Chains A and B, each alone.
Chain A
Amino acid sequence: DTGVSQNPRHKITKRGQNVTFRCDPISEHNRLYWYRQTLGQGPEFLTYFQNEAQLEKSRLLSDRFSAERPKGSFSTLEIQRTEQGDSAMYLCASSLQGGPNTEAFFGQGTRLTVV
């Protein structure tokens, strides 16, 4: 297993277009997380899945954002009608279900630029 994989690594899109990102977690991990990181900030939680169920969504996740994890494997994050404020690094992480010491493994992220 090569770790958490995210595609694409970079995406430039015009304002108003839809974009979709993919995340392939570590295979045995049942939890998958999406975070957003803007310039000069730490990652901010967007949403997470336990297996195929989306268990929590942040208030940051507007109705233009949707995430899926069919069959509890890979996940996609779609942003509809992109805005310039959506420009950020989108990080995916995966982990086993556990307590406070549960380590999350991150992918290299997808950097989105909305022009």
Chain B
Amino acid sequence: AQKITQTQPGMFVQEKEAVTLDCTYDTSDPSYGLFWYKQPSSGEMIFLIYQGSYDQQNATEGRYSLNFQKARKSANLVISASQLGDSAMYFCAMREPQSGYSTLTFGKGTMLLVSP
């Protein structure tokens, strides 16, 4: 079974509108961390936002917020007021206790295109 599932291969949004990128995860551990990374065409993975499994509130970082629904095992990224520079691949990832929280497991990603 996939640990991280991103069901949207591509998403289109107009500039200044909000967009939601979906992510569901699978783990039996009560303690885990969820991350969203942005990967522009240059290749570097840029950290956007983090949500811990025990966090009571949804994480927010500027225009990024995470819609965390623990019972549904979903951690959707919401980007408000999209900008042209937001066009990139977006990856959801999870860190679990195995091997001392050492590794990240990534989904297949969603390509976001922001149009003027």
Binding site for B on A (CB under 8 A): 31, 33, 40-45, 48, 50, 55-56, 89, 91, 93, 97-109, 111
Contacts and interface: CB of A to CB of B under 8 A. Distances in A.
B106 A44 contact: yes
Nearest to A49: B102
A43 B106 contact: yes
Contact of A55 (B43, B102, B106): B102
Interface SS of B by simple majority: mixed
Given A43-B45, A105-B47, A108-B43, A100 B33 contact: yes
Contacts of B46: 106
Contacts of A109: 43-44
A93 B105 CA distance: 13
Nearest to B95: A100
Contacts of A111: 43
B98 to A, nearest CB: 9
A33 B95 CA distance: 13
A24 B68 CA distance: 34
Interface string B41-68: 0111111001011000000000000000
A101 B50 CA distance: 7
8 contacts: A33-B104, A43-B91, A44-B106, A97-B100, A100-B52, A100-B96, A106-B37, A106-B44
A104 B47 CA distance: 8
A17 B101 CA distance: 35
**A-B complex: 5 closest residue pairs judged by Cβ atoms:** A42-B106, A100-B33, A106-B45, A109-B43, A108-B44
